[in-house]
């Protein structure tokens, strides 16, 4: 039978809601990509061009980094996601970052780790390198999320759109190739090794890091800590952006299953539902270009608890996805931000924070509007 949410229907742009406003924390972040909080409440923000910034009290300070590998910052590549080891409280904090490494002719997504001593990130080392390498500047994936067992999820994009090729196949077909990291979600130890118990590791020819596959380009990743459920937002081509609930060992279909169409021919890619593959919770046509994903549990908006919030680059909004008690999507609505949203996270204060995608990015805090 098809996936858990069979025969999902593609949805368009949801209605806008009010009762909130965006406060500007700072407008001094160079092309920000991702944010993570330190145990003391300060924030680290990556800049796509290879910079790292400390945000405290609305002030921004660049953080020196020692040992960062060669950065490939053209196209969609650059210094991308960031995560703090959840067990570290100080004075030294393990900082994990994803990045595009190499050159325009040969590059790949890597995971690095360094130690933040309060002033700089030193001793940066490469923990994991995705293979095979590819060319061009598309589809690096790069989102990170910690699971309760201390393992780390990391998304890897499929490598690019046709006519882009990786090895002897179209790049997008790598997503169905378990001998390739491309087009998959990985589960790693804190040291960057294959996590024990990965469900596909025993399959002949499968790489042991792969947790799920059939992904085009996951750009949002979050975990509902209470239930342990993992959610991802994913770019489709010309329509067909998705929200998925991710389970280890499952195939999410790309490019055999999709609501999208080929950029050149405009012909549908695959079928909207394929037996044995997991259907998305949400499929958006047209594409809002999702980026960043947060599971909301805060007190500022009690009516929003238990909802997903997905940032939108092309749609310039935040999309709230509402679930019923069985985990089925029952409603969507949007918060009009008016700028491309690169990342959205819930902070330690229970508020939603948004990073805009600009040469000088804004960090926004979403708060109730009583007016």
Which position has the higher pLDDT, 12 or 288? Answer: 288
pLDDT at 10: 86
pLDDT at 12: 87
Residues in the chain: 371
Terminus-to-terminus CA distance in the chain, angstroms? 50
What tens digit of pLDDT does each residue of 172-206 get? 999 999 999 999 999 999 999 999 999 999 999 99
192, 209 Cβ separation under 8 angstroms: no
Q: In what helix (H) or strand (E) does residue 60 lie, and over which residues does it extend?
A: strand 59-65
Average pLDDT over residues 7-18: 88
Cis status of the peptide bond prior to 330, with omega within 30 of 0? no
Sheet with 290-296: list strands edge to edge: 290-296, 307-312, 317-323, 329-336
Residue 162 resides in a domain: yes
Label residue 3 by pLDDT band (50, 70, 90).
very low
Percent of the chain with pLDDT over 90: 94
What tens digit of pLDDT does each residue of 100-122 get? 999 999 999 999 999 999 999 99
Residue 6 resides in a domain: no
Please give the sequence-ordered ranges of beta strands (E in DSSP) within 89-248, or none if there are none. 93-102, 107-116, 120-129, 144-146, 152-156, 165-166, 169-170, 184-188, 210-213, 218-223, 230-234, 241-246
Region label for 303, one of left (φ > 0), alpha (ψ between -120 and 50) or beta (otherwise): alpha
The CATH number that applies at residue 282 is 2.120.10.30
Catalytic annotation, residues? 139
Q: Is the pLDDT of residue 78 over 90?
A: yes
Percent of the chain with pLDDT over 70: 98
Average pLDDT over residues 275-280: 97
Label residue 165 by pLDDT band (50, 70, 90).
very high
Q: Is the pLDDT of residue 295 over 90?
A: yes
Q: Torsion angle, CA of 259/187/319/13, rounded to 10 degrees? A: -10
Q: Is the pLDDT of residue 241 over 80?
A: yes
Residue 317 resides in a domain: yes
Say how many C-beta atoms besides its own lie within 10 A of residue 2's C-beta. Answer: 18
Say how many C-beta atoms besides its own lie within 10 A of residue 149's C-beta. Answer: 11
d(CA 90, CA 307): 32
d(CA 120, CA 115): 8
pTM (global) more than 0.75: yes
Q: Which domain holds residue 108?
A: 20-368
Residue 178: C-alpha distances to residues 182, 207, 210, 276, 278 (Å):
9, 6, 8, 16, 17
pLDDT at 90: 85
pLDDT at 370: 83
Residue 159 resides in a domain: yes
Residue 3 resides in a domain: no
Assign 339 to helix, strand or coil. Answer: coil
Residue 2 resides in a domain: no
Say how many C-beta atoms besides its own lie within 10 A of residue 75's C-beta. Answer: 15
pLDDT at 162: 95
Residue 13 resides in a domain: no
Residue 241 resides in a domain: yes
Q: Is the pLDDT of residue 2 over 70?
A: no
- Domain count across the chain: 1
Average pLDDT over residues 161-165: 96
């Amino acid at each position: 039978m098809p996936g858990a949410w069979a025969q999902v229907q593609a949805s368009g742009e949801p209605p806008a809601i009010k009762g909130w406003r965006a406060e500007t924390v700072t407008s001094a972040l160079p092309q920000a990509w991702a944010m993570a909080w330190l145990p003391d409440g300060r924030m680290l923000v990556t800049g796509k061009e290879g910079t790292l910034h400390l945000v405290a009290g609305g002030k921004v300070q660049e953080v020196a980094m020692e040992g960062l590998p060669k950065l490939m910052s053209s196209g969609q590549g650059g210094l991308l996601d960031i995560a703090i080891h959840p067990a570290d409280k100080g004075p030294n904090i393990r900082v994990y970052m994803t990045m595009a490494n190499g050159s325009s002719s040969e590059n790949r997504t890597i995971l690095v780790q360094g130690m933040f001593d309060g002033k700089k990130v030193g001793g940066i080392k490469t923990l994991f390198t995705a293979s095979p390498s590819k060319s061009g500047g598309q589809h690096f994936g790069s989102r990170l999320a910690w699971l309760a067992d201390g393992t780390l999820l990391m998304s890897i994009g499929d490598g690019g759109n046709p006519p882009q090729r990786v090895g002897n196949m179209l790049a997008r077909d790598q997503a169905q190739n378990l001998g390739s990291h491309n087009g998959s979600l990985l589960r790693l130890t804190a040291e960057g090794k294959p996590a024990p118990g990965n469900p596909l590791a025993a399959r002949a020819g499968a790489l042991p890091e792969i947790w799920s596959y059939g992904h085009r380009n996951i750009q949002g990743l979050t975990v509902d800590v209470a239930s342990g459920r993992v959610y991802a937002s994913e770019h489709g081509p010309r329509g067909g952006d998705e929200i998925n609930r991710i389970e280890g060992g499952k195939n999410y279909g790309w490019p055999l299953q999709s609501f999208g169409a080929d950029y050149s021919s405009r012909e549908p890619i695959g079928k909207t539902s394929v037996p044995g593959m997991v259907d998305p919770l949400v499929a958006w046509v047209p594409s809002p270009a999702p980026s960043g994903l947060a599971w909301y549990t805060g007190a500022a908006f009690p009516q929003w608890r238990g909802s997903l919030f997905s940032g939108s680059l092309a749609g310039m909004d935040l999309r709230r996805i509402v679930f019923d008690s069985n985990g089925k999507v029952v409603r969507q609505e949007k918060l009009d931000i008016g700028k491309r949203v690169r990342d959205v996270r819930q902070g330690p204060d229970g508020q939603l924070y948004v990073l805009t995608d600009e040469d000088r990015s804004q960090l926004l805090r979403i708060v109730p509007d009583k007016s």
